[in-house]
Amino acid sequence: MMVPFYILILGPVLAGLALLALPLRWGKVLAPISQIPLAVLAGQAFLAVRRNGPQLQVIGGWPSSVGIALRAELLSLDLVMLSILLFACLLLYNAGKPYVNRTFLFLFLSFQGLLNGIFLSSDLFNIFVLVEVATVVISLLILFKPNSESIYDGSIYLLTNIVAMTFFLFGLGLLYKTTGAVDFDSLKRVIASFEDSERLILPYAFLMTAVSLKAALMPLFSWLPKAHGTPGAPTVVSAVLSGLYVKGGVYLFFRLQDIFEPVLDTRSLFLVLGLMTAVIGFVLAIAQKDIKLILAYHTVSQIGLIMTGLNMDHDYARYGALYHIINHAIFKATLFLTAGLVIEHYKTRQIGQIRGVWREMPAVALASLLAILGITGAPLFNGSMSKAWIMVGADQAWLGIALYVINLGTVISFVKYSSMLWGKAPGKAKRPFWGGPGHRLPALVCLSLGTLCLLGGVLSEPMTRLLFGVALPVDWSQYGRKTVVFLLLLFAGTAIYHFGLKRWRYLQQARDLDLSFHDICLTMAAFFAALVIVLKIWY
């Protein structure tokens, strides 16, 4: 019997409601345990889809064109299972935090249900509703430890995303008027046989403007560091936003491109935007002094790399980008969680004031190092595999060079970030392996996620076969060359940062770059207008 997909959406919400009625000490124990039945159900659904192909369920027995349709396929269930893994780890990490109360657990678990709904929904209107509710929940989570800066950043996030989803609603309305459908299957069928492509330009531009902002694509990314790096946001909120939620925008982009591609093929445009996003993201990451902002801006860069792979005309590159979505969620969550422990210990977020993490917090430093090796593409780590498959799709010399530049930028960013691991913290005695009282469970969670960064590389071939149902062979004989390339990039990145960029006066100007709400709205309008003009010229 097939698992009802709505349980994967309502289950976390109902668990959060139940925890509101229980004592907090029980809630902190039961919250991570609630992920076990979800994992079992998601695993059953995944195995059924592996055996029988994609499954569609319509709640209430209505036709899929008018009912609430939920569609499970390998990619959507991959992301649901990823969310279960990360939320279980985040709830364990958070169990001892003093700010955690029953309201926080309810909001956090409700957010998981909404996120699962976005991945499973097969209807654009339902996705609109889910994203709108998720926006409110995320804003409350960002503001959970309120101060003046987090209130400002949370307000910017809320208002910006409301404007973006207004664009989405306009596009949805125009698309329904033009095609008479809002569910994915009907849209794909109708649009594939559509003769007047010009009538689809406006709805496509409205939808893609909103989705590009949700995915933090250039130039619509300036909201992301405010939300992910704001001081008031709990560490687990930053981790899930940067590791997982921003991928919801990438997932919607992937789905919409699949629907519109037969009529409006914009892969070359978004390929260029992906490359620009990746470069600007790592430049702004290098410019930061706040360790959470370094990680937040580098999320922008990695989203650009993923978008580049998705828009290449090569299956390896696309599956490499999809695998990088999963890899990035794991190593970026690890980095944010370890950064949270470092900030708690050192009482500062300024990287220049943090030294000797390896001596002070060995377990945290080791987990950070594993994640850094993953994100920089060190041999045998998960990032190296997904980046290698993306590189296969670089059939032109300039594109291959651009990808090497992006990886060099990643190395430079984390040469700077890893500087806090070394040196000696003045006046500090050597700490236990876990880094001090109350850090044992959080550090163990971080180490577990860091280990996945290694396993995701060593086991990449069976993992991609399991997750995507395709065989992406690994040429282990080429690993000597890959190791040499990585070492050269590491040497070059270290030299460029310490002997050039570290004292580059323009980094201060980049660090001061900050768009107001009005600027973000104008940028959104300009992006929409430019997209319409380009499409009018092409079609």
Please, are residues 9 and 120 in contact by the beta-carbon 8 Å criterion?
yes
Give pLDDT, residue 158: 85
According to the model, what pLDDT value does residue 494 have?
86
* DSSP result, 276-300: HHHHHHHHHHHH--BHHHHHHHHHH
Q: Where are the alpha helices (H) located in 198-266, listed in sequence order?
A: 201-214, 223-229, 235-240, 246-260
- Among 484, 261, 303, 293, which residue's Cα sits nearest to residue 406? 303
C-beta atoms surrounding 298 within 10 Å = 28
Other C-beta atoms closer than 10 Å to the C-beta of 529 total 12
Residues 6+ apart with CB under 8 A from 449: 89, 330, 331, 333, 334, 337, 367, 371
In this predicted structure, what is the pLDDT of residue 508? Answer: 65
Give the contacts of 301 (CB within 8 A, at least 6 positions apart).
Answer: 277, 278, 279, 280, 281, 282, 285, 406, 409, 410, 413
Domain boundaries defined on the chain: 1-122, 140-265+507-539, 270-504
For 103-147, write each residue's pLDDT tens digit.
889 999 999 999 999 999 988 999 999 999 999 998 888 887 766
Q: Residue 183 — φ and ψ, nearest 5°?
A: -85, 150
pLDDT at 170: 93
What pLDDT is recorded for position 253?
Answer: 92
CA distances from 123 to 183, 253, 337, 392 (A): 4, 14, 34, 34
Residue 98: count of CB within 10 angstroms of its CB: 6
Q: Is the pTM of this model over 0.75?
A: yes
Q: What are the residue ranges in the chain where pLDDT is below 50?
A: none
pLDDT at residue 244, as a whole number = 87
Nearest CA among 268, 267, 106, 264 for reference residue 175: 264
Which of these, 191, 172, 215, lies nearest to 308 by C-alpha position? 215
The first and second tokens of residue 528, run together, are 């929409």
pLDDT at 33: 92
SS3 call for 181: coil
Rounded Cα–Cα distance for residues 453 and 494 (Å): 23
Which residues, other chains included, contact 506 with Cβ-Cβ below 8 Å and sequence gap of 6+? none
Gap between the Cα atoms of 111 and 119, Å rounded: 13
